[in-house]
Amino acid sequence: MKTVLITGANRGLGLEVAHQLGAKGFHVLAGIRNAEAGRRAEALLRGAGIRADYVPLDMAAPDMIAAAADMIAGMAGGLDVLINNAAVHYDTHQRVGAPDFAIVEEALAINTVGAWRMTVAALPHLLRSEAPRIVNVSSESGAWSSMTGTTPAYSLSKIGLNALTRMMASEFRGDGILVNAVCPGWTATDMGGGGRPVPEGARGIVWAATLPDDGPTGGFFRDGKPIDW
Amino acid sequence: MQVPHSRFRHPFDALNSAGAEKRHQLVICCVHGHEVSRAVCGFLRDEGIDCRYLVGGFEAWREADLPVEPIDGH
Ligand SMILES: NC(=O)c1ccc[n+]([C@@H]2O[C@H](COP(=O)([O-])OP(=O)(O)OC[C@H]3O[C@@H](n4cnc5c(N)ncnc54)[C@H](OP(=O)(O)O)[C@@H]3O)[C@@H](O)[C@H]2O)c1
């Protein structure tokens, strides 16, 4: 049975990705920072017949990230797929000329450095997998080619995540780990506040998590199709 | 079978269509009335929906000899 760790799996895209991958037979490890939300997500996934375990995980807490990687190895015996999904601060109220730097720093800590730390912690386990995959859930807001002065904290955090995707893909290519950035498109979660149905947004993430061995690495995709960096 | 006039939803469909339910008061009923209905209810409350769950679920409803109907009137 393949295993997947999804950060921020208690609602929105993370929970739906857990649902879709669980339905494909994955053992889902749901990284969630709030204990009640964690138990709830676990109950729902199990209710849907999915093998799921809640893993306490706050992406702002480096110790918890390290502990979570070891916990999943113990619970599931290994890890095949990491989905860096958790994110905060889609700061539509801010402009680059007048940001609240506390928000900028938190966005970078969770969305970018958190995903980086999680990847490093998961790496020894991924290296033992036969088909390791990393999906960095990013956004077109982090595309260099269409960068504007809006959502500055979020955009900076996602272009950073895109850069990490390139670095990781290059570094881990020889180990067979496929690393890609995926934009789910505008999706009707709390963060999206509107947009397409959550299952549709989740599909492109699931696609990147289940790529065949000769699939792409170091790419930026939406709905399984390349988009501009 | 289900509680009369209720609507059958897969738990994940219930979450994903939460936006459409904002103006309604909901009672969530699952089979046993602990984990799934409680979890769905917790999610929907977080979305600002006025929501309760049926303690004991459909099993308790049936044991109490309350009326039932085929799922979604089919
Ligand atoms: N929705 C869109 O339109 C859209 C578009 C482009 C990209 N994206 C990306 O898609 C991903 C998922 O977003 P979403 O729309 O599903 O957002 P969401 O509904 O706001 O969910 C965000 C998730 O991240 C979790 N999270 C935040 N900070 C965390 C932390 N410190 N530790 C652990 N978990 C944390 C949240 O947990 P809590 O419940 O504890 O807060 C929640 O589960 C994000 O990377 C987002 O940037 C979304």
Band the pLDDT of B9: cuts 50, 70, 90: confident
Choosing from A154, A172, A207, A221, the catalytic residue is A154
Q: pLDDT for A159-192, tens place per residue?
A: 999 999 999 999 999 999 999 999 999 999 999 9
**Does residue A200 surpass a pLDDT of 60?**
yes
* Strand A220-222 versus strand A225-226 pairing type: antiparallel
- Predicted confidence (pLDDT) per residue in A145-157, tens digit: 999 999 999 999 9
pLDDT of A54 higher than 80: yes
For chain B, say whether A195 makes contact (Cβ under 8 Å): no
Strand partners, A225: A222
The whole-number pLDDT of residue A136 equals: 98
Tens digits of per-residue pLDDT, A58-103?
Answer: 999 999 999 999 898 888 889 999 999 999 999 999 999 999 999 9
Tokens at A165, concatenated: 């995707």
Residue with CA closest to ligand 1 atom 46 = A87
Residue B10 contacts A where some CB pair is shorter than 8 Å:
yes
pLDDT score for B73: 54
Give A200 to chain B, closest Cα distance, Å. Answer: 11
Minimum mean pLDDT among A139-143, B6-10, B70-74: which range? B70-74
Mean pLDDT across chain B, nearest whole number? 87
Edge-first strand order for the sheet with A81-84 is: A52-56, A27-32, A3-7, A81-84, A133-137, A178-182, A220-222, A225-226
- Beta-carbon count within 10 A of A97 CB: 7
Q: pTM of the predicted model, to two decimals?
A: 0.94
Per domain, the residue ranges of chain B are: 11-63
For residue A111, pLDDT over 70 is answered with yes
Look at chain A and report how many structural domains it folds into.
Answer: 1
pLDDT at A74: 86
Mean pLDDT in chain A? 96
Q: Does B46 touch chain A (CB under 8 A)?
A: yes
Nearest-by-CA chain A residue for B36: A44
Identify the CATH number of the domain in which residue A94 sits. 3.40.50.720
Instruction: Tell me the average pLDDT across A104-123.
Output: 98
Please say whether the dihedral angle defined by the alpha carbons of residues B65, B66, B71 and B73, taken in this order, is positive or negative: positive
**Does the pLDDT at position B74 exceed 60?**
no
Q: How confident is the model at residue B7 (pLDDT cuts 50, 70, 90)?
A: confident
The torsion defined by the Cα of A175, A19, A160 and A118, in degrees rounded to 10, comes to -60
CB nearest B36 (choices: A44, A198, A199): A44
Q: How confident is the model at residue A24 (pLDDT cuts 50, 70, 90)?
A: very high
Query: What's the pLDDT at A113?
Result: 98
Q: Find residue B52's DSSP bridge partners.
A: B27
The pocket around ligand 1, CB under 6 angstroms, is made up of A 7-8, 10-14, 33-34, 37, 57-60, 85-88, 110, 137, 139, 183-184, 186-187, 189-192, 195
Q: Ligand 1 pocket test: which of A28, A58, A65, A85 has the largest number of ligand atoms within 8 Å of its C-beta?
A: A85
Which residue's C-alpha comes closest to atom 42 of ligand 1?
A8
Geometric angle at alpha carbon A191, from B24 and A203, rounded to 5°: 95
Structural domain span for residue A50? 3-226
- What mean pLDDT comes out for the span A108-118? 98
The tokens for B34 are 């602990």
Spatial contact of A169 and A179, defined as CB atoms under 8 Å apart? yes
> Once rounded to an integer, what is the mean pLDDT over residues B4-8?
89
Number of H helices and E strands in chain B, helices first, is 3, 2
- pLDDT value of residue B20: 75
A154 in catalytic set: yes
Predicted complex ipTM: 0.81
